[in-house]
Amino acid sequence: RKEVEQDPGPFNVPEGATVAFNCTYSNSASQSFFWYRQDCRKEPKLLMSVYSSGNEDGRFTAQLNRASQYISLLIRDSKLSDSATYLCAVWGRILTGGGNKLTFGTGTQLKVEL
Amino acid sequence: DGGITQSPKYLFRKEGQNVTLSCEQNLNHDAMYWYRQDPGQGLRLIYYSQIVNDFQKGDIAEGYSVSREKKESFPLTVTSAQKNPTAFYLCASSIGHSTYEQYFGPGTRLTVT
């Protein structure tokens, strides 16, 4: 099982739709969680950190479910400009060795259409 | 403007040559990271450094080397021992090597033929 898993998509949605992505992680001791946005052939940009109580930034809402070991990202009223790949990242102990690291999912591709 | 710079944006090399990728940050961050991204794959950690003059291997360090002589700089050398060097290389930094957010530079696309 991968340490961090995402549905690769693509998710094709009409403009104005609400779309949600999930990301599951295998290490129950993971400590912090993030969502990044990556445009084609660009670097990942931090979208938001995910807090235990959930957090919202404009049209974006992130939630953490520790019991089921997943984080989610909800995008409301999606715009054409939201089209990108969304990566989740989980900070925790490296399962097969010492130390800690940030582990990234492979990303979910979102295409917002007219 | 505070940020992370990587140069060059595109780099072409012949097989058998070593190549060094530059990464500089002016965010006063202690921790710096090198990742590699291949199509359809997540980011994979090559090396990281928690502090000047210290660095640790990540998941795929074979064929790579780094140095951290200054806080601002963390260059990565891709040696001829790296079997599949063609990839998108991303440098990141963080306040510290812990639960903090990591911020990325614009990346270097390396093509080795």
What's the mean pLDDT in A45-73?
95
Give residue-wise pLDDT tens across range B18-50.
999 999 999 999 999 999 999 888 899 999 999
- In angstroms, how far is CA A77 from the centroid of its own chain? 18
Residues of B in Cβ contact (< 8 Å) with A104: 42-43
Hunting for tokens 């190549």 — which residue is that? B19
B1 confidence band (pLDDT: 50, 70, 90): low
Chain A residues inside the 8 Å CB shell of B59: 101
Q: Which of B42, B101, B105 sits opposite A34 (nearest CB)?
A: B101
pLDDT band at A41 (very low <50, low <70, confident <90, very high): very high
Please confirm whether the linkage preceding B8 is cis (ω < 30° from 0).
yes
Q: How far apart are CA A107 and CA B62, in angstroms?
A: 25
User: Is the pLDDT reported for residue A69 higher than 90?
Assistant: yes
